[in-house]
Chain A
Amino acid sequence: MTTATAPVGASKKGALRRSGDWARRAPLLPALILTLLVTQLPFVVTLVTSFMNWNAYYPDERGFAGLDNFKTVLSDPDARKAIIMTVVLTLSVVLIALVLGLLIALLLDRKFLGQGIVRTMMITPFLIVPVAAALLWKHALYNPEYGLFNGMLKLVFGEHAPQVDWIGQYPVLAVIFAIVWQWTPFMMLIILAGLQSRPMDVVEAARIDGASAWQIFVHMTLPHLRQYIELAALLGTIYVIQNFDHVFTITSGGLGTANLPYYIYQTFYTAHDYGLASAAGVVVVIGTQIAAMLALRTVFSIFKEQGR
C-alpha cells in the first residue's frame, strides 16, 4: 500500500496512510453496517430468545430458562425426525438436481436451432415463486382425482389405468421431485457457464491426438467443471436446507416429511413458543456450520488455493 506522499516523517507518513485507508474504506461502511445490522442483529435476538421461556400466551411466565429449550429440542423425537428429514431432503435434492443439471447443460452446450428459446424455457422453473410451484405440483400434477399424472396414466392405459395416490404413497419422493424440478435449472445454469468457459483449443488438440468423446468428458471436461459443480452444490445446499414452501404446501408437514424449517414454523406459529423455536433455529445454524466446515475442508476444492 504505497501512496504518492512525500517522505516527511515516519509518524506523519503513518497517519497519512491511515487516513488514506479510511478514505477508501469510508464509502463502504454504510453498506457494511447495514449488512451487519440486518444479518447479525436478528441472529443475536434469536440467540437471546433461545435461552428464554417465552410463550406468547403466557406473558407472565416470560423469563430466563437456561438450557431448557435446547434440552427440549434435542430430546424431542419430532425434532430428531425433522433433522434426519432435512439431511435426506437436502442431499437427495442437491445430488439429483446436480446430475440432471449436468446432463441438461451438456445438451444445451451444443449448437442447435432454437437454442435460445429452449434455454429460456429450461430456466423457467427456477423463476417461479416457490409456493406457487409447490401448489402447482400438489394440485395440477400429483392430485389423484384431477392431477395431470393420473390423467396421463388414463390417457395412455385407458379408463382402468392404475390411479396412484402420489403424495400419500410416496410423500418424501413427492416433495423431493417437486424441489428438484425447481432447482435443476439453477444447477444447469452454473454448469453451463462452466462449460462455456472451457478452452476449446485444448479440447481440439485432444481430439486430434485421438481422444474419444468419453475420454475428453472424463479427463478434461469434468475436472474443469469441478469448481462449478462444487459451487452449485454449495449454494444449492444452503437454499434447500431452508426449504419450507414445498413441505408446507404439498404435505402440510405430514407423512413424515416435516423438516427443520417446518418444525420451527410449527413451534413458532401454532405453539407460539418463541423460546423453543429460537433454540431450534440456533441448532440448525450450528449444525449447518459444522456440516459446511467439514464439507469445505474435505471434499471441496473450490476455496483452496491448490484447487486451481
Chain B
Amino acid sequence: MSVKPLVPVLVGASIVAVSLTACSGAGGGGGTSGGGGGSGDAITVLMVNNPQMVDLQKLTADNFTAKTGIKVNFTVLPENDLRDKTSQEFSSQAGQYDVASLSNFEIPIYAKNNWVADLTDYSKKDTAFNQDDILKPMTTALSVDGKIYGEPFYGESSFLMYRTDVFKDKNLTMPPKPTWQEVADLAAKLDGAQPGMKGICLRGQPGWGQVFAPLTTVVNTFGGTWFEKDWTPKVNAPEFKEAVNFYVNLVRAHGEAGASQAGFTECLNNTMQGKTAMWYDATSAAGSLESDSSPTKGKFGYVAAPVVKTAASGWLYTWAWAIQQKSTRKDNAWKFISWASSKEYEELVGKTAGYGWSRVPAGKRASTYANADYLKAAGAFAEATKSAIESVDPNNPGVQPRPAAGIQFVDIPEFPDLGTKVSQKVSSAIAGQTTVDAALDEGQALAEAVANKYQK
C-alpha cells in the first residue's frame, strides 16, 4: 500500500480550485500593471477595456499629454476584473490609482463610503467643461446629496427598436409612446411576418446586468419594486409577479428561440439578421444596428421604452470617471477627466482618421445631439437616444419611493448577488423548468436576507 505519498500531489492539484479565490484575496498583483507611483506630472488611470476606452488610451499621449504635459499611465482590465480591482483599491484607499472608470452603480456607493472625491468645486470652476451641458439624469445618477462624484464618459438608456419595413408590410403602426400591452399585441401580430421572424427579442440570460436590466424596468412600470422605502422586500408582491409573468409569457409566446440563454449579444445578432421585428434593449445597440456591416441597416424605427403605470421606463447606465479620495494629484486628475469627458474630445474622435463619428463616446452631453457631424452619422437614433436618457429619473423610477437610487438595479452592494440569483430562477421560468410564482417566492426569501441587514 503506497497510498500516502500521493496525498501531497492531490493536495497540490485540488488547490488549483481554491487558488481561484485566493489569487485576488491576497490583495494585489494583477496581470496588467502600468500604473503605480509615477513621477512628477503623471497620473494613473484604472479603466475598463471597452472599445471607447481603448480609443481614449490611444489618443491621450498625442493630445492630452502633448497639451498639458501630464503623462497618463493606464491600467486596462476586463469588466469583472475591473470591478474586483476597484473595490479592493478604493475600499483600502491604497492611493495607487488617481482616476478610475466606474459605473453609476458603484459611484454612489463609493461616495457614501467616502472613497471617491467630491468633484463639485472642480466642475464649477472649470467653465470650459460646462457641467450644464451634461444630461441632467447623468449628473443626478452620479451625485449624492447634491454633490457630484463622477463625470460620465459615455452613457445609455433603453428604448424599443422596431423594423419599420415589416410594420408597413403588415399595415401596423407603432405608437410614439407605446404601452407594454400594445407591444405584446404587436408582437403577436408580427410573429412570422417574414419566414422565421419572431415578434420581439427580450433578454433571458441570467445575470443582474442581463435579464434583470430590461426586466427591472418592466417591474418598475408595472408598479412593482425590489424594496419599499423601509426596506420591506416586495419580490413576490402581486405587481412584481404580474410584471415578470407578463415578460416571461411574452418572450415564451412571441420571443426569440432559446430565450433563457439569450443576452444582449444574441438579441443583437437576431435583430441584425432580421429574425426579430422588435427589440427592447440599450440605446447603444442602435449604433450596431445602423452600422455599415448590418444587413438591416436603415430599416429601424426607435420609440421610448414601453410603459404601464409610469410616464417613462427606460434605464440609465454610464461609465464615468471618479477620483480616489486618497489621491495626491487631484488637480491633474480633474484635468484628465475634464478633457476625456469634454465636447472637444468627442470632436477629436469624430475628426481623427481611423476613428470617426460613429465611435464617439456619446450619450452624456446635450451638445453632442446638436452637432451636425454627429447627426449625420447617428441621425436615425440620436433624437430617440437623447430623449430616452432625458426622460428617466434615477432616484424615482417607479410608483413608490425607494430606499436606494437606481432604475434597473438597487444601488446597494448586495444587489449584484441578489439580482443574479433571482435572475437564474427567472431564466429557469423562461425555459419552462419552473413557474414565475415559485421563482419569485424563492427570490423573496433571498431579498428578505438582504433587507435584514438594512432594517436593523
- Interface, chain A (partner B; CB < 8 A): 35, 39-40, 42-43, 45-46, 49, 54-59, 78, 138, 142-146, 163, 165-169, 171, 238, 241-242, 244, 250-256, 258, 260-261, 264-274, 277-278, 280-282, 284-285, 288-289, 292-293, 296-297, 303-305
Measured in the bound complex, the distance between the Cα atoms of B139 and A118 in whole Å is 61
Q: Say how far B364's CB is from chain A's closest CB, in angstroms.
A: 26
Q: Tell me, yes or no, whether B335 is within 8 Å of chain A by CB.
A: no
Q: Tell me, yes or no, whether B455 is within 8 Å of chain A by CB.
A: no
The answer on a CB contact under 8 Å between B18 and A282 is yes
Using known A-B contacts A143-B266, A168-B260, A254-B423, determine if residue A305 contacts B1 with beta carbons closer than 8 Å: yes
Measured in the bound complex, the distance between the Cα atoms of B208 and A254 in whole Å is 12
Q: Say how far A242's CB is from chain B's closest CB, in angstroms.
A: 5
Closest to B19 in A: A42
The answer on a CB contact under 8 Å between A146 and B17 is no
Q: Say how far A68's CB is from chain B's closest CB, in angstroms.
A: 14
Measured in the bound complex, the distance between the Cα atoms of B20 and A244 in whole Å is 10
The answer on a CB contact under 8 Å between B11 and A56 is no
Contacting A165 at CB < 8 Å: which of B22, B80, B91, B258? B258
Measured in the bound complex, the distance between the Cα atoms of B432 and A146 in whole Å is 22
Question: Which residues of the partner chain A approach B3 to less than 8 Å between Cβ atoms?
Answer: 293, 296-297, 303-304
Measured in the bound complex, the distance between the Cα atoms of B269 and A57 in whole Å is 36
Question: Which residues of the partner chain A approach B433 to less than 8 Å between Cβ atoms?
Answer: 255-256
The answer on a CB contact under 8 Å between A238 and B207 is no
Using known A-B contacts A45-B25, A296-B6, determine if residue A242 contacts B19 with beta carbons closer than 8 Å: no
Q: Say how far A65's CB is from chain B's closest CB, in angstroms.
A: 14
Contacting B18 at CB < 8 Å: which of A144, A244, A285? A285
Choose, from B51-59, B81-89, B155-163, the stretch at the interface. Answer: B81-89
Question: Which residues of the partner chain A approach B15 to less than 8 Å between Cβ atoms?
Answer: 39-40, 42-43, 285
Measured in the bound complex, the distance between the Cα atoms of B84 and A119 in whole Å is 43
Question: Which residues of the partner chain A approach B365 to less than 8 Å between Cβ atoms?
Answer: none
Question: Which residues of the partner chain A approach B205 to less than 8 Å between Cβ atoms?
Answer: 252, 254
Measured in the bound complex, the distance between the Cα atoms of B27 and A300 in whole Å is 40
Question: Which residues of the partner chain A approach B20 to less than 8 Å between Cβ atoms?
Answer: 242, 244, 261, 264-265, 268, 281
Measured in the bound complex, the distance between the Cα atoms of B22 and A173 in whole Å is 31
- Most chain B CB inside 10 Å of its own CB: which residue of A35, A273, A292, A297: A292
Closest to B276 in A: A145
Choose, from B166-174, B228-236, B410-418, the stretch at the interface. Answer: B410-418
Contacting B207 at CB < 8 Å: which of A45, A252, A274? A252
Within 8 A of A (CB), among B14-43: 14-26
Q: Tell me, yes or no, whether B259 is within 8 Å of chain A by CB.
A: yes
The answer on a CB contact under 8 Å between A288 and B14 is yes
Q: Say how far B296's CB is from chain A's closest CB, in angstroms.
A: 15
Question: Which residues of the partner chain B approach A35 to less than 8 Å between Cβ atoms?
Answer: 12
Using known A-B contacts A56-B88, A252-B207, A270-B208, determine if residue A289 contacts B22 with beta carbons closer than 8 Å: no
Within 8 A of A (CB), among B183-215: 205-208, 210
Question: Which residues of the partner chain A approach B84 to less than 8 Å between Cβ atoms?
Answer: 56, 268-269, 272
- Chain B interface helix/strand/loop/mixed: helix
Question: Which residues of the partner chain B approach A274 to less than 8 Å between Cβ atoms?
Answer: 21, 25
Contacting B416 at CB < 8 Å: which of A238, A271, A277? A271
Measured in the bound complex, the distance between the Cα atoms of B259 and A293 in whole Å is 43
- 18 CB contacts below 8 A, A to B, read A35-B12, A42-B22, A46-B21, A46-B22, A56-B88, A57-B91, A165-B431, A242-B16, A252-B205, A252-B210, A252-B263, A254-B260, A258-B424, A270-B416, A272-B413, A274-B25, A284-B14, A288-B14
Using known A-B contacts A169-B431, A271-B417, determine if residue A281 contacts B22 with beta carbons closer than 8 Å: yes
The answer on a CB contact under 8 Å between A167 and B261 is yes
The answer on a CB contact under 8 Å between A57 and B11 is no
Question: Which residues of the partner chain A approach B352 to less than 8 Å between Cβ atoms?
Answer: none
Question: Which residues of the partner chain B approach A254 to less than 8 Å between Cβ atoms?
Answer: 205-206, 260-261, 423-424, 427-428
The answer on a CB contact under 8 Å between B258 and A167 is yes
The answer on a CB contact under 8 Å between A284 and B210 is no
Q: Other than the known A145-B266, A250-B261, what 10 A-B pairs have Cβ atoms closer than 8 Å?
A: A42-B19, A43-B18, A167-B261, A242-B20, A252-B205, A261-B20, A268-B21, A271-B414, A271-B417, A297-B3
Measured in the bound complex, the distance between the Cα atoms of B199 and A300 in whole Å is 56
Contacting A278 at CB < 8 Å: which of B25, B258, B431? B25
Contacting A146 at CB < 8 Å: which of B10, B263, B273, B430? B273
Using known A-B contacts A57-B109, A271-B417, A281-B18, determine if residue A145 contacts B258 with beta carbons closer than 8 Å: yes
Closest to B430 in A: A168
Question: Which residues of the partner chain A approach B260 to less than 8 Å between Cβ atoms?
Answer: 165, 167-168, 254-255
Q: Tell me, yes or no, whether B66 is within 8 Å of chain A by CB.
A: no
Q: Tell me, yes or no, whether B68 is within 8 Å of chain A by CB.
A: no
Q: Tell me, yes or no, whether B13 is within 8 Å of chain A by CB.
A: yes
Measured in the bound complex, the distance between the Cα atoms of B260 and A287 in whole Å is 32
Contacting A46 at CB < 8 Å: which of B19, B413, B416? B19
The answer on a CB contact under 8 Å between A42 and B12 is no
Using known A-B contacts A255-B427, A255-B433, A266-B420, determine if residue A272 contacts B87 with beta carbons closer than 8 Å: yes
